[in-house]
Structure 1
Amino acid sequence: FVLEREVSERLKELAAQTGSTLYMVMLAAYTTLLHKYTGQEDMIVGTPIAGRPHAELSNLVGVFINTLAIRNYPSSDTSFLEYLQEVKEQALNAYEHQDYPFEELVEKLNLTRDTSRNALFDTMFELKTMEQQEFELEGLTLSSYPLDNQTAKFDLSLEAIEQPEGILCSLEYSTVLYKPETITRLAQHFAEIVRAIAYHPQQPLAVLNMVTDEEQEQLIYGFGEVGVTDDPVVEAGALFHTYVEEQAQLVPDHVAVVYEEQQLTYRKLNERANQLARRLRNEGIGRESIVG
């Protein structure tokens, strides 16, 4: 999926304004998504690093790549701008110690090893900058050979690549844990969060919206057969019990509530609600009374 160009440019501007990088902004956005999904405020995300901090190493043949485990603490009441500064500091500290071998770190932490799990983190994030995507040699025709990878290395991995049309993102996931439609929804939520960050970075993490317009409609109008009524549109600020009473008049025998094997029609739901209301009134309950 692609984060459109306008949003991508805004993210780069945000990085420049805060003295951070696009990688830091994207990592902060990704951990915000994970925070919203899990409710956790202690998040470890793995990231690969080139391992060539010195210019002298740029032309040296060999694999210097190391893995960094970056730990962040997203909190609901923290604004994204404040959280981005925290992510920036954590990332810079991690870069300072990028030469420390990941395997040695795992050994030092004395973690309980399990061959079915990754030792320190379950999810990775990587931002790639492709400086040269096409290569030409005189007298030769070159074409890329796609590598079909069938094995997820982690439970969930997000990869982002800067492109002229925006930021191209892809998610790799364990099919044992996730269904394709779950990951599709997660991708949509990530795109919504990034859009909210691009336009309202001063908002607290709890306020940043990740719900799509389609899901918003479902939340407002319900998941049932909305279109079967004569007037399915719910006015903004309308009272819920008034809506139920209207449906009880319009479609009394349509199912309103389902719980396991039980279900209630709109007529039955309205009758039960009225019975409860009368009972409460008989007990002396009136306006502004608090009822558990």
Structure 2
Amino acid sequence: MSTSEAALPRAPARAPVVPVAERPAPLSTAQARLWFVHTSRPPTAEYNLQVALLLRGKPDLDALVGAIHRLVRRHEPLRTVVEPRPDGPPVQRVLADPPAVDHRPAAPGADAMARAVATASGELAHVFDLEREPPLRVRLAPLDDAGDTVVLVLTLHHLAFDGWSTAILLRELAEDYRRRGEPALPAPEISYSDYAWWERRTLDHDREALLRYWRGALDGVRELELPTDRPGHGVGGPMGTVRHELSASTMERIRAVAAQAGTSTFAVALAAWFAVLGRYGGQRDFVVGMPVGGRTDLALEPLIGCFVNTLCLRSALRPGESFVESVRRTHLTLADAMAHQALPFEELVRALGPDRRADRNPLFRAFCSGVDAPPSFELDGLDCEFVAPAGTSSRFDLNATFLLGGPRPTVQLDYSKTLFDDTTGADLARRLGVFLDWAVSRPERAVRDVAWMMPGERRRVLETLNGGDLA
């Protein structure tokens, strides 16, 4: 679960989600948004997600394949295709059988992890035919003749999966493998199709009130201006990633500021991201995008599927106020947005009518999310290691992810290499980390007075500006 989902009040559902008998189901609003993107331009792998694992210790391949098949049967989005209708919007069509497992050999090489990365990267580039094939591809490739080491790659289209779903998939896969199918794990009480019907009916009731809120919240805001190394927008280009690890003392102070402001650690980090973006672009009023889990009813929490929505958070910076006061206002912005999260992002975009192009996100250029802790996975008697594919494409010009739980709190900055040099990306990530460290060390200090350079770096800059003469 992300910090942005966990640390704020849930938006109350109008009525419980209950099973329905109607078939076929419409696409959910999240699916409809992704389907629109998929059909409005040449299909790409941009919205592919992946769970890839290097397994050592002679895994039981039959038990592993059986666990995957049972997982897919429990969660219908993993075997759902989109069926266009000539007389109306497309609908979901749930296939009876899970996809076949691909047992082709892994990519060549001598090092097991390097081969696993190459295999996962190749799978991630697959372009799904969402009308004809399920949005899940399974590759189970041996890395030695004895079968002691294998790579398991689950590649999924976002239409069927989101960040929350990852924990469900890992937990159920491990439990089913341990049980070897006996006794079987219970299926969820409701299905994703039930949710799609419920969501549509609820939205029909609330749409106008939600539109009024968001029009007011975003009235008059301008697009964030970023001083990039190259002009344009960078969505779909190659992505660079920089990580800045936070010290234990900084994390302790972040928690203290959160308690002082009556909010979450994510709100503290978001306030810092607002401030750094404003200083970087010379702008006070702009929008940052943020994902929200969308599971507004407890009955939805055990389901794999795409529930995620995108919220627009308005910065409205006040450089003269203290950082802790900025955190308090950021908390209010977050809470209001979460309370009005049910309006699909695509409907907001249509209502506001911004410029739409394939290389940009409408309404925002920068993104932000929070993660409580990195995923963990144990598979009965095996040594398991996550595999990170190479060559990921960028969905945003800039994206800050705050991993604030676990033993190594980290700020991760993803940037589009279409726009930014690697040195620029590394510099911005470092400045965000330094700003956050200084801001929480003295939270009563005005935002405009918080440093984003280390003392030695600041001295060198001042010496340069003063012609080398710094008295």
Match of residue 352 from structure 2: 109
C-alpha distance in structure 1 between counterparts of 2:260 and 2:463, whole Å: 40
CA distance in 2, matches of 1:115, 1:65: 21
Query: Take 2:395 and 2:445, find their aligned partners in 1: how far apart are those partners?
Result: 34
In 1, Cα distance between equivalents of 2:272 and 2:392: 27
**Separation (CA, whole Å) in 1 of partners of 2:256 and 2:275:** 19
Shift of 1:95: 0.3
Aligned partner of 1:127: which letter?
G
Q: Which residue of 2 aligns with 1:262?
A: none
Q: CA deviation at 1:165?
A: 3.9
Distance 1:51 1:149, change over 3 A: farther
Distance across 2 between alignment mates of 1:93 and 1:35: 21
Match in the other structure for 1:202: 444
- Listed one character per residue, the Cα deviations across residues 196-244 of structure 1 (whole Å, up to 9, x for unaligned) are 1111111111111112223222134338997xxxxx9x5xxx4xxxxxx
| Contact 1:48–1:68, Cα closer than 8 Å, also in 2 | yes
> What letter matches 2:339 in structure 1?
E
Give 3-state SS (helix, strand or coil) of 1:160's partner.
Answer: strand
Question: Contact between 1:46 and 1:125, CA under 8 Å: does it hold in 2?
Answer: yes
**Structure 1 136/109 Cα, relative in aligned 2: closer, same or farther at 3 Å?**
same
Partner letter of residue 402 of structure 2? A
Q: What is residue 60 of structure 1 aligned with on the other side?
A: 303
Q: State the partner residue of 2:395.
A: 153
Alignment root-mean-square deviation, CA: 2.1
* Letter aligned with residue 210 of structure 1: W
* Gapped regions of structure 1 (runs ≥ 5): 227-231, 239-292
Question: Aligned residue for 2:312?
Answer: 69
Give the Cα separation in 1 of the matches to 2:258 and 2:401. Answer: 19
Task: Tell me which residue corresponds to 1:219.
Answer: 461
Q: What is residue 209 of structure 2 aligned with on the other side?
A: none
Letter in 1 for 2:343: Y
2: distance between equivalents of 1:42 and 1:79?
Answer: 17
Measured after TM superposition, the shift of residue 152 of structure 1 is 1.1
In the superposition, relative to structure 1, how do residues 43 and 192 fare at CA in structure 2: closer, same or farther (>3 Å)? Answer: same
Distance 2:369 2:437 in 1: 19
Q: Aligned residue for 2:8?
A: none
CA distance in 1, matches of 2:266, 2:440: 14
Question: Secondary structure in 2 aligned to 1:87?
Answer: helix
Alignment of 1:190 onto 2:435? no
Question: Conserved in 1, the CA contact under 8 Å of 2:275 and 2:447?
Answer: yes
Contact kept? 1:72, 1:86, Cα under 8 Å: no
* Equivalent AA in structure 2 for residue 159 of structure 1: T
| Residue matched to 1:229 | none
Contact conserved, 1:8 with 1:166, CA < 8 A, in 2? Answer: no
Alignment CA distance shift 1:40-1:221 (3 Å): closer
1:233-272 to 2 correspondences below 5 Å: 238=471
1:22 aligned residue (265, 284, 293): 265
Task: Decide which of 309, 315, 326 is 1:83's aligned counterpart.
Answer: 326
Cα shift readout 1:27-55 (whole Å, capped 9, x = no counterpart)? 00001001111221112111111111332
Matches within 5 A, 1:138-177: 138-177=380-419
Larger RCO (CA within 8 A; separation ≥ 6): 2
Task: Name the SS for the 1:183 alignment partner.
Answer: helix
* Alignment partners' CA distance in 2, 1:73 and 1:103: 23
Contact 1:4 1:165 in 2 (8 A): no
For residues 101-129 of structure 1, what are the alpha-carbon distances to aligned partners after superposition, in whole Å with 9 as ceiling and x for unaligned?
11111001122322222111001011111
Aligned-residue offset at 1:76: 1.7
AA partner of residue 283 (structure 2): Q
CA distance in 2, matches of 1:150, 1:20: 33
Residue 248 (structure 2) pairs with residue 5 (structure 1): yes
Choose the corresponding residue for 2:277, options 25, 34, 37. 34
CA distance in 2, matches of 1:94, 1:193: 25
Which whole-Å deviations, capped at 9, do the CAs of 1:115-173 have from their partners, x for residues lacking one?
22211100101111127x33223244433221224311111111121344442121111
Larger displacement relative to structure 2 (78-87 or 28-37): 78-87
Identity among equivalent positions (%) equals: 29
2:293 equivalent in structure 1: 50
- Report the more deviating stretch, 158-167 or 64-73: 158-167
Structure 2 runs not aligned, ≥5 long:
1-243
State the one-letter code of the partner of 1:154: F
Structure 1 counterpart of 2:252, one-letter code:
E
TM-score normalised per structure 1: 0.72
Q: How many angstroms apart in 2 are the aligned matches of 1:118 and 1:21?
A: 27
Q: In the aligned structure 2, how far is the partner of 1:186 from the partner of 1:203?
A: 22
Retained in 1: the 8 A contact 2:257–2:324? no
Q: 1:41 touches 1:73 (CA, 8 Å); kept in 2?
A: yes
Number of residue-to-residue matches in the alignment = 228
Aligned-partner Cα distance in 2 for 1:144–1:81: 37
Tell me how far apart the structure 1 counterparts of residues 381 and 405 of structure 2 sit (CA, whole Å): 28
Q: Distance in 2 between matches of 1:49 and 1:121?
A: 16
